[in-house]
């Protein structure tokens, strides 16, 4: 019986897997750049900046807001020096674009955050209305033992 191959062996054999390694490295660099932006600009500004690409020694960033782009311009040389020092010394410049695509991505992020906030509120304040509780109790009385116990456990979590 053959032993399983390690992940690094699997990823180093063909061209498609070498692309996977490149994407993995690029993703880790993008995350490091995003972390760097948070430390320099603060979370309020950095959360509105998306690292879109790093190509030909140029770091491309996008934002949905011209105001964020202006705030970024004030820190651009500081960010470039930190990127050169901590991530890639070959970085020539950092370009910021105000992009509708960034707006779409930021809207998707905010929608996801608001949905999770709503779900949290619903689960924290969830309760079983009295008429539903009465129906569950009626059903439990005419059910077999296992179902009756489950329904009674459900009802014991009911907020009054």
Give the per-residue pLDDT at 34: 92
Name the one residue in this structure whose structure tokens are 């782009």.
69
Which CATH number does the domain 8-114 belong to among 3.40.50.150, 3.30.300.180, 3.40.640.10, 3.40.50.300?
A: 3.30.300.180
Give the per-residue pLDDT at 113: 62
* pLDDT confidence bin for 78, thresholds 50/70/90: very high
Mean pLDDT along residues 79-108: 82
* pLDDT confidence bin for 125, thresholds 50/70/90: very low
* pLDDT confidence bin for 95, thresholds 50/70/90: very high
* pLDDT confidence bin for 37, thresholds 50/70/90: very high
Residue ranges per domain, the chain?
Answer: 8-114, 124-160
Closest Cα to residue 100, out of 65, 55, 70?
65
What letters, b where the CB count within 10 A reaches 16 and e where it falls short, cover 133-157? eeebeeebeeeeeeeeeebeeeeee
Task: Give pLDDT tens digits for 44-60.
Answer: 888 889 898 888 889 99
Lowest mean pLDDT of 41-50, 57-66, 80-89, 121-130, name the range: 121-130
158 pLDDT above the threshold of 80: no
CA distances to 18, 43, 60, 66, 77 from 94, in Å: 27, 19, 6, 16, 9
User: Which stretch of DSSP H or E encloses residue 136?
Assistant: helix 130-141
pTM above 0.75, yes or no: no
Give the per-residue pLDDT at 27: 86
122 pLDDT above the threshold of 90: no
Mean pLDDT along residues 7-28: 70
Phi, psi of 89 (to 5 degrees): -65, -15
């Amino acid at each position: 019986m053959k032993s399983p191959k390690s992940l690094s062996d699997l990823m180093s054999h063909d061209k498609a897997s070498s692309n996977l390694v490149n994407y993995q490295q690029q993703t880790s660099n993008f995350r490091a750049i995003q972390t760097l932006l948070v430390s320099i600009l603060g979370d309020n500004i950095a959360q509105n900046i998306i690292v879109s690409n790093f190509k030909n020694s140029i770091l491309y960033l996008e934002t949905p807001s011209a105001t964020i782009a202006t705030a970024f311009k004030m820190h651009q040389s500081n960010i470039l020096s930190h990127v050169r020092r901590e991530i890639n010394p070959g970085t020539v410049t950092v370009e910021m674009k105000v992009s509708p695509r960034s707006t779409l991505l930021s809207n998707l992020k905010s929608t996801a955050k608001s949905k999770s906030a709503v779900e949290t509120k619903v689960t924290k304040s969830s309760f079983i209305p009295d008429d539903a509780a009465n129906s569950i109790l009626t059903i439990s009385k005419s059910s077999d033992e296992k179902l009756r116990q489950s329904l009674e456990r459900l009802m014991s979590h009911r907020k009054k």
